Structure formats: C-alpha cells, structure tokens
Chain A
C-alpha cells in the first residue's frame, strides 16, 4: 500500500499545483507561474519535485534575470513544501502493521455478518428478525468501512470463527442469543485491545466508532436474554487472537 502511494506521481503533482506556499518571494502561486509562458523555470513546474534543484540551477546559469531567480527560488520552496506536506499526511494512512490488523478485523466483521444472516435464514428467528437484520447490516458496514480504509475488497471472512459458531446461530433461541452476545463481546474486546497497536489516527477513530455500537448490540442481546442487571455492564469477552496479524 505504501509503495502504491509513493509511486503515484500524478497525485503528488496534483497536490503541488494546489499548494500556495506562503513564502514564495514574489508572492505568486506556483499555478500562476505555469500560465506565464515560455520561461524554462515556468515549464519545470510540471515536472516531478526531484528535478526542482536542478531546475533552479539551470535557470540561474541561463539568463540571470531577477524574475527568473525569484521564480526558481519559489519553485524550490514549493517543492520543499510539497515534500513536507506529504510526510505529515502519511500519519493518517494505515501503516503495514495497521493494514495487517485491520484486514483480520475486517474478516471478523464479515464473519459476524454471515452468522447473523445464517440466523435470518433459520426458522427460529421469530420476532427478533428486524434486530438481527440491523446487526447483520451494521457488521457489514464495519467490514466495508475497514476495507475502504485499507484499500481492499470486503470479501473474505474468518472461516474458523464462522464454523465454530454456525451451529449455535442456527440453533434455538438460547443457543443463538448466547453465541451472538459472546461474539459481540469478543468483537468489542478485540477492537479495544487493538487500539494500543494502531499507528494511524484514522484506524483509531474508525475502531472507536465501531466498538461503542457493538457494546450496544451486546446490551440488547443481554436484555432479550434477561441477564441480571449487574452483569450487563461487565465486559465478558476476550480479545480474539488474530494469528499472524498480531
């Protein structure tokens, strides 16, 4: 993923054109320099940032007018600003470690979606069908949001978890409710545990927005199960071991 960003030159150039560095000596945007015609300095603004120092030297060696010198210095400033901007923006991009963890979590969310859909297909779903449907859709949305964040398709579930819970989700009410609440508690605990490992801010923000709703899922299931009040506020799940991802 990181390599893709680095090699994405059109994106970098687009950012450069939109940039308006405050410290350009002639107080003009890079974009206005492009439109001013045939000088060698102006044409070089469309090239990759790496060529900027050479362009500045070339311009100074040629016709050393004040205008060209100022333009070259402005170009160098713009290139430096571009490099620093790209570096700071990368803190919000998922790192390799984040991507591995988020991929595993996305698979867990897809597993939850499929398990709730399994319940919807079973004859025992009864009056709880609308709630089960919403939970299935929520987990699907979490998987899609995570997949969108790391740039992959949300199409692979965790088969080990699915196989271990499939029978319970297709069983009677008690089996389903216990298994579903256990799954939600596990998801909350897993998301919470991973918060200390994520490096990108977006991963942290997204995870926090997911885990608070999964905790609410668990409370609804606890109410249906008529679990004693004092036990409803105690986190009973253990973080899932996501294998090689952790």
Chain B
C-alpha cells in the first residue's frame, strides 16, 4: 500500500482512535483558550485573599491601630516606667551596691519625672496617660533577663544528668548594673528616634531633653561601673580592649546610635556560653497603642 492508498482506505479501528484523539486535542485547546480569555479579562471575580491549602481555620485580619503622637508619647512613658520597675526590683532584691545608691536614686526619680512629662504631653495630644511598664518589654526582655541573672540555670543533659550553674552575689550585682546601663542607653536611643517622628515642636523638644538627660545618666553609670577606663570606648581611641575592660562607656560612639543593643546576662551553660539578650527601640510590637490599658 502506497501512501495514496491510505487516503482511500476504509475506516479502521486505528482511525477511530485517531479521531478520538483529535477530538480530545481540540476540546483541550478550546478549554485552554477559554481559561486564558477568562484570566486576561477585566471582570474577574473571586476572593483576593492568599491561597489556602487544606482544612485550615479562617484567619482574622489584624486591626489597623493608628500610631499617632499620643501612642508615641505613651510608649515613651512606658519605657520610663519600665526603667523605674527595674531599679525598684534591683533595689528590693539587694542588687544595688552602696556606691550606686545615690546615683540610682537620682535616675529613679528622673525616670518618674520623665514618665509624668510624657504622659502630660500624651493627654495634650488627645490620648490617655500610661501608668505602668511596657508590657511587651517586660514579657520579652526584662523578666527573662532578671530571671536569668537571679536564678540557677538548670540544663538537662540526658541520661538523668543535669548541669547546674548560678551566679555569685557579686556577679549578680554586676549583671544587674550592666542591664541598667543597657536600659539607660535604650532610653536614649528611643527618645533620639522619637525626636524625628513627631511634628509637634513642643513634643520634639521634650524628647530631645529626655534623650540628653538619659545620655548623662548612661554616661554616669558607665563611669561608676568602669571608672576612668570607661570614659571613651576603645574603638574611638583606636585601641584593642584589654581583658577585663569595661563593656559600657560614657562616650561609646561618635554619633548617637539607635541600633539594637546586645548584652550577655546570667550564668554560662556547660560550654561556658552565656545568654544574649537584645534591646531594641520601640516598634510596632512594643508601641503602647491608644486601645491598650495597663489592666489588660
């Protein structure tokens, strides 16, 4: 059979299958083109939500709480109250040595005054005064740090073995003072940041004055902890810090920094590793929104 004979051949089973295949091809092409036309059309309906897989529960969208001057000022007040709480806890626990009682008493009072000042401005901005520590900072920073410093560290090594380590009384005092210094620096960085976030000149000046006051407190605390070696950071002097050198300085950098602050606190683990904690200036998670109350 030559190729011309094929044209006149009777319909066979092979040709039937071929026709079915052609029909499937054509219908598939029609469906594809239809889908393409629908996808490119302007009047597409359906949910605009992200795709979901499986039988997952429906999600609830977060409330879009506004961040206004009152929120920023309430947040600033909450930072001051957080510092007050830390100093009072340290004092009650006997972690403030004699040489630091005068300065920390002044710091405590200044933080109270600044908290009231920030609250007065928050009320003037249409918000409500905030009278307690920042809940986010307390839960995720202050309480974990204080727990790490003041309690025994217990690590399960498996096989019924445990590693236990606890700071000496002097080491606890050192870590508490180091944490207080970090909090003072955090307060400086926070007010420094808030200076540029408000459009109200009076509020801007209040943040600037708070930043400079707390910068003085941070410098004083660094000097009381580290002596004259803590006047200027080794980095600014172009020197390598010797063993046992201070970790906080009265003049830590050329410009005021607002980057995160890291501290190490508490006893080491079985390998000598000490926990690191990060302090960050207020952001969406730690703002004290107008909808929050101290009771909640």
Our pick among A131, A134, A142, A195 for the contact of B208 (Cβ within 8 Å) is A195
Our pick among B202, B204, B256 for the contact of A212 (Cβ within 8 Å) is B256
Our pick among A138, A220, A235 for the contact of B223 (Cβ within 8 Å) is A220
Counting chain B CB atoms within 10 Å of each CB, the highest count among A201, A217, A219 belongs to A219
Residues in B with CB closer than 8 Å to A208 are: 192, 195-196, 208, 211, 256
| Interface of chain B residues 98 through 112 with chain A (CB within 8 A) | 102-103, 106, 110
Residues in B with CB closer than 8 Å to A209 are: 192, 255-258
Supposing A216-B216, A220-B219 touch, asked if A205 and B196 sit within 8 A by C-beta, the answer is yes
Residues in B with CB closer than 8 Å to A205 are: 195-196
A217 to chain B, nearest CB (A): 7
Contact B215 A195 (CB under 8 A): no
Residues in B with CB closer than 8 Å to A233 are: 106, 110, 213, 216-217, 220
Write the chain A residue with the least CB distance to B189: A212
Interface Cβ pair total, 8 Å cutoff: 113
Task: Let me know if B209 is at the binding interface, CB within 8 A.
Answer: yes
Contact B255 A134 (CB under 8 A): no
Task: Let me know if B237 is at the binding interface, CB within 8 A.
Answer: yes
Report how far A204 CA is from B204 CA in the complex, Å.
9
A28 to chain B, nearest CB (A): 16
Residues in A with CB closer than 8 Å to B250 are: 216, 219-220, 223
Contact B205 A210 (CB under 8 A): no
Contact with A along B223-254 (1 / 0, CB 8 A): 10000000110001100000000000011111
Our pick among B204, B215, B232 for the contact of A131 (Cβ within 8 Å) is B232
Q: How large is the interface on B (under 10, 10 to 19, 20 to 34, 35 or more residues)?
A: 35 or more
Report how far A230 CA is from B106 CA in the complex, Å.
7
Contact A137 B256 (CB under 8 A): no
Supposing A208-B196, A230-B106, A233-B106 touch, asked if A219 and B256 sit within 8 A by C-beta, the answer is no
Residues in A with CB closer than 8 Å to B256 are: 208-213
Supposing A131-B231, A192-B208, A208-B211 touch, asked if A213 and B216 sit within 8 A by C-beta, the answer is no
Task: Let me know if A148 is at the binding interface, CB within 8 A.
Answer: no
Supposing A141-B254, A208-B195 touch, asked if A134 and B212 sit within 8 A by C-beta, the answer is no
Write the chain A residue with the least CB distance to B102: A229
A210 to chain B, nearest CB (A): 7
Task: Let me know if A196 is at the binding interface, CB within 8 A.
Answer: yes
Task: Let me know if B188 is at the binding interface, CB within 8 A.
Answer: yes
Contact A220 B212 (CB under 8 A): no
Our pick among B201, B211, B216 for the contact of A219 (Cβ within 8 Å) is B216
Supposing A205-B196, A233-B106 touch, asked if A210 and B255 sit within 8 A by C-beta, the answer is yes
Task: Let me know if B218 is at the binding interface, CB within 8 A.
Answer: yes
Report how far A213 CA is from B215 CA in the complex, Å.
7
Contact A212 B215 (CB under 8 A): yes
Supposing A210-B255, A229-B103 touch, asked if A192 and B205 sit within 8 A by C-beta, the answer is yes
| Interface of chain A residues 43 through 73 with chain B (CB within 8 A) | none
Residues in A with CB closer than 8 Å to B251 are: 134, 138, 213, 216-217, 220
Task: Let me know if A30 is at the binding interface, CB within 8 A.
Answer: no
Counting chain B CB atoms within 10 Å of each CB, the highest count among A192, A209, A218 belongs to A209
Task: Let me know if A130 is at the binding interface, CB within 8 A.
Answer: yes
Residues in B with CB closer than 8 Å to A154 are: none
Residues in B with CB closer than 8 Å to A210 are: 255-256
Contact A134 B236 (CB under 8 A): yes
A201 to chain B, nearest CB (A): 6
Contact B212 A211 (CB under 8 A): yes
Contact A212 B231 (CB under 8 A): no
Residues in A with CB closer than 8 Å to B192 are: 208-209, 212
Report how far A217 CA is from B215 CA in the complex, Å.
10
A159 to chain B, nearest CB (A): 25
Contact B212 A130 (CB under 8 A): no
Report how far A138 CA is from B215 CA in the complex, Å.
16
Our pick among B220, B231, B252, B253 for the contact of A232 (Cβ within 8 Å) is B220
The 3 closest A-B pairs by CB, nearest first: A196-B201, A212-B256, A219-B219
Interface residues of B (CB under 8 A from A): 102-103, 106, 110, 188, 192, 195-196, 201-202, 204-205, 208-209, 211-213, 215-220, 223, 231-232, 236-237, 250-258
Known: A130-B232, A213-B256, A215-B211. 9 other contacts (CB 8 A): A141-B254, A208-B195, A212-B188, A213-B254, A216-B252, A219-B250, A223-B250, A232-B220, A233-B110
CB-defined A-B contacts under 8 Å, sample of 10: A134-B236, A134-B251, A138-B254, A208-B192, A210-B255, A212-B215, A215-B219, A220-B223, A220-B250, A235-B213
